[in-house]
Every structure is written in C-alpha cells, then in structure tokens.
C-alpha cells in the first residue's frame, strides 16, 4: 500500500511538473506571437511616421527625375529597415495606379499576387488582409511567406492612397518556435 501511494504521489508530481512546463511554453509562444503582431502594426504605420513615404505613394511617382531618385532612396531605406526585425522579410508599397516599390524585389509572379490581394481588399472594402502561406520569390530566393496587406490612407483626408504589404518568412518564424 505504501509503495502504491509512493507511485501515485510521484505520478502526480510529474504531471504537475509537465503541466507547468507546457504552460510556460504556451506563454512563450503567446508572447512571441504578440510581438509579431505588434511589429506588423508598427511597420504598417511607418508611412504615417515617415511622411516622405506618404508623399511618394500618394503622388504616385509622378515627379521629376531628381525627386524620383530621392523618393526611391527614402522608400528603400524604409523597406530595408525591416531587416532589423527577424520575423519580417520585406515591405512593398503599391500605388493606386499599380506603381510598385518593393523591398522584396520585382518578381513578376510575386507582384501580380500582391495586385490580386489589393483588388480583393478593394472589392470587399477591407482595410487589412492576411494571406494564406504561399511560395514565392523574394529577393531572388524561393521562400514560404505570409503577407500582411493593409490599405494606406491619407491621414488628413482619409482617402486611400495605396496598399502596403509586409512579408513574414515562415522558415525564420518556425525557427523561433
């Protein structure tokens, strides 16, 4: 009987231990996902903070050559700034007349996919869209990605000026878990 009680107590202790380990792992995953969502919100708001991006996308790249080069430099520094975030692989901006500036490169299939997402968002009057996991080419590398798409609005008159797309590299994301 004493031996039976010892085994019962040991199994309860082990169950409590593994339960705590699972709860801790669950909290870690929850914290990581919360961080990723906050990073997406922050990066999707960058065009409001960096008014140059707002101006360039809203003016739809109709500008003189020197201003155009300056605009590309400003957008490039913004799209490359996501590189400090290990979960986000690139940012792309699409103007209302389908001009694109992309930190993900200019793969035709990728850009057509973004245009379809923007069209779906417009047809359904969505402000945000999260794609399914799909394979594409970003910066000349084949990757599995999820794209977070968002409608860009002018903060002064609230009129749409374009779409933004943030890509999350699934392989890098999986490594964190």
| Listed residue (136, 174, 164, 170) closest to 44, CA to CA | 164
| Interval 97-156: pLDDT, tens | 888 877 777 788 888 999 999 999 999 999 989 999 988 887 778 888 889 999 998 888
Tokens of 54: 């707002």
Per-residue confidence (pLDDT) for residue 49, from 0 to 100 = 59
What span, in angstroms and rounded, lies between the C-alpha atoms of 167 and 106?
Answer: 14
Per-residue confidence (pLDDT) for residue 119, from 0 to 100 = 95
Per-residue confidence (pLDDT) for residue 177, from 0 to 100 = 67
| Interval 41-96: pLDDT, tens | 666 666 665 666 777 677 765 555 566 566 666 665 655 555 566 777 788 888 88
Per-residue confidence (pLDDT) for residue 154, from 0 to 100 = 86
Per-residue confidence (pLDDT) for residue 114, from 0 to 100 = 92
Other beta carbons within 10 angstroms of residue 46's beta carbon come to 17
Per-residue confidence (pLDDT) for residue 139, from 0 to 100 = 75
* Cα three-residue angle 58-169-88, rounded to 5 degrees: 50
Per-residue confidence (pLDDT) for residue 97, from 0 to 100 = 82
Per-residue confidence (pLDDT) for residue 70, from 0 to 100 = 65
């Amino acid at each position: 009987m004493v031996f039976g009680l010892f085994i019962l107590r040991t199994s309860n202790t082990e169950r409590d231990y593994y339960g705590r380990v699972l709860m801790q792992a669950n909290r870690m995953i929850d914290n990581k996902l919360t961080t990723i969502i906050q990073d997406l919100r922050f990066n999707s708001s960058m065009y409001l903070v960096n008014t140059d991006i707002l101006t360039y996308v809203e003016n739809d790249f109709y500008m003189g050559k020197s201003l155009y080069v300056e605009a590309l430099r400003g957008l490039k520094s913004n799209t490359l700034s996501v590189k400090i975030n290990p979960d986000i692989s690139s940012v792309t901006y699409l103007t209302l007349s389908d001009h694109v500036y992309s930190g993900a490169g200019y793969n035709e299939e990728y850009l057509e996919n973004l245009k379809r997402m923007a069209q779906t968002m417009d047809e359904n009057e969505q402000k945000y869209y999260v794609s399914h996991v799909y394979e594409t080419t970003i910066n000349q590398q084949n990757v599995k990605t999820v794209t977070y798409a968002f409608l860009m609005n002018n903060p002064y008159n609230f009129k749409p000026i374009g779409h933004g797309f943030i890509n999350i590299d699934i392989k890098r994301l999986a490594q964190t878990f």
